[in-house]
Amino acid sequence: MEGPVEERLCGKMKIGCGLHRDNLRDVFTWSLLKTILMGQVLSLLICGTAVSCEYLTHAKVETPMLQSFLNYALLLFTYTTHLSTRTGDRNILQILKTNWWKYLGMAIADVEANYAVVKAYQFTTLTSIQLLDCFVIPVLMLLSWFFLKTRYRVIHFVAVAVCLLGVGAMVGADILAGRDQGSTSDVLLGDGLVLLSAVLYAISNMCQEHTVKNLSRVEFLGMMGLFGTLISGVQLVVLETRAVGEIKWDVHISMLFVVYTLCMYALYSFMPVVVKMTSATAVNLSLLTADLFSLFCGLFLFMYKFSALYIVSFVVITVGFIMFNAVPTYSVLPEEPTEASDDPEAQSSSDQLLLSADNDTQRTETLTANDTP
């Protein structure tokens, strides 16, 4: 029996380390295809928010805090309400009693990240924002390394470099097409706001990954809706009362706000699902194509100039994303046991040593079950 046992252990090590992938069928799985498609759905939702924002800007409506508030309020109405009906150890009163400060910090990071990047457009150029916004990926990988104990292989760093190369091609296409928009009134301040936004997004995304994998998606979204509404509501009153009062409401403006809010709500609702399947880093890599979708829409809606580099950029980013998800990441420690919850999405994973970026964990468990005498 030693031979089969050693073979089983060796097989597990091969899957865990991602060292043996003998043919393309082992790489291009249905799980990977689903991950790619779901990532692009997120990019399309961001594209919807960008296009609606562009139309609002043309209508002289610049109220980013109001737009954020509407999104958080919708999360509050749905997920926080659902969370308040939960019974058991993870009911809303228990969560607020023990972890309110954690979710408050998470919401502050998310709200201020959104505000900082929008504010940056007043001081620096589109090119700078597109380039510096990618800083979220290395920061997120670093935070995941230290706090989530995620370990990356060489292929993951190569994949990130490929994706960033694709972003470079996109920025080059923007310059050639004359889309280097934005202000240059205070480039240093604008660039600083973009970097601050990237760091805050990384913190928020890392916390999101930890919460949805160890607790539940409903708890994350319910707490984000509660605290996000409070924070953005206060900032709305302080910063945008006059701007909101100057809006000339009509059917067109109202529909733009509805489209933006629904796209953001769908993005916030759907993103934790993809994060749970993969990782926050993988999701951020997939979101790099969002600017490209916005540009493609702009070709027809805003008469942007086309450049073949846009296609090159899309292909390069997609290749990098596939490379990142083709080989699983892993954790040096097992995931924390899921706390008691009435949410059916909460799953116990305390006995899993591998955190897979493309659902390899599930394949490992299947292999173990089949080999068990």
**In a domain? residue 222:** yes
- Between CA 218 and CA 326 the distance in angstroms is 29
d(CA 253, CA 250): 5
**Long-range interactions of 298-303: CB distance < 8 A, separation 24+:** 298/51, 298/54, 301/51, 301/54, 302/54
User: Residue 111: which of 190, 216, 254, 226 has the closest Cα?
Assistant: 226
Residue 363 lies in a domain: no
Comparing 107-121, 193-207, 219-233, 247-261, which segment has the lowest mean pLDDT?
Answer: 107-121
Could you list the residue range(s) of the whole structural domain that residue 55 is in? 29-331
Q: Is residue 175 part of a domain?
A: yes
- Tell me the two tokens of residue 352: 């899993």
3-class DSSP state of 335: coil
pLDDT tens-digit map of 114-145: 888 888 877 877 677 777 888 999 999 999 99
In a domain, 341, yes or no: no
Say if 24 falls within a structural domain. Answer: no
For residue 314, pLDDT beyond 70: yes
Give residue 228's pLDDT band: very low, low, confident or very high (50, 70, 90): very high
**pLDDT value, residue 180:** 57
Domain assignment of residue 360, yes or no: no
What would the pLDDT profile of 45-82 be if each residue is shown by its tens digit?
988 888 888 788 888 888 889 999 999 999 999 999 99
Report the C-alpha gap between 255 and 97 in whole angstroms.
Answer: 39
pLDDT band at 156 (very low <50, low <70, confident <90, very high): very high
Q: Regarding predicted confidence, which is higher, 306 or 339?
A: 306
CA nearest to 321, candidates 25, 51, 26, 38: 38
State pTM to two decimals.
Answer: 0.78
- Residue 19 lies inside a defined structural domain of this protein: no
Within-domain flag for 143: yes
d(CA 73, CA 226): 8
Any residues with CB less than 8 A from the CB of 285 and at least 6 apart, and which?
39, 137, 159, 160, 163, 317, 320, 321, 324
Structural domains counted in the chain: 1
Is 84:92 a contact under the CB 8 Å cutoff? yes
Here the tokens at position 236 are 């709305």
Q: Which of 42, 33, 184, 41 is nearest to 122 (CA)?
A: 184
Neighbours of 92 (CB within 10 A): 18
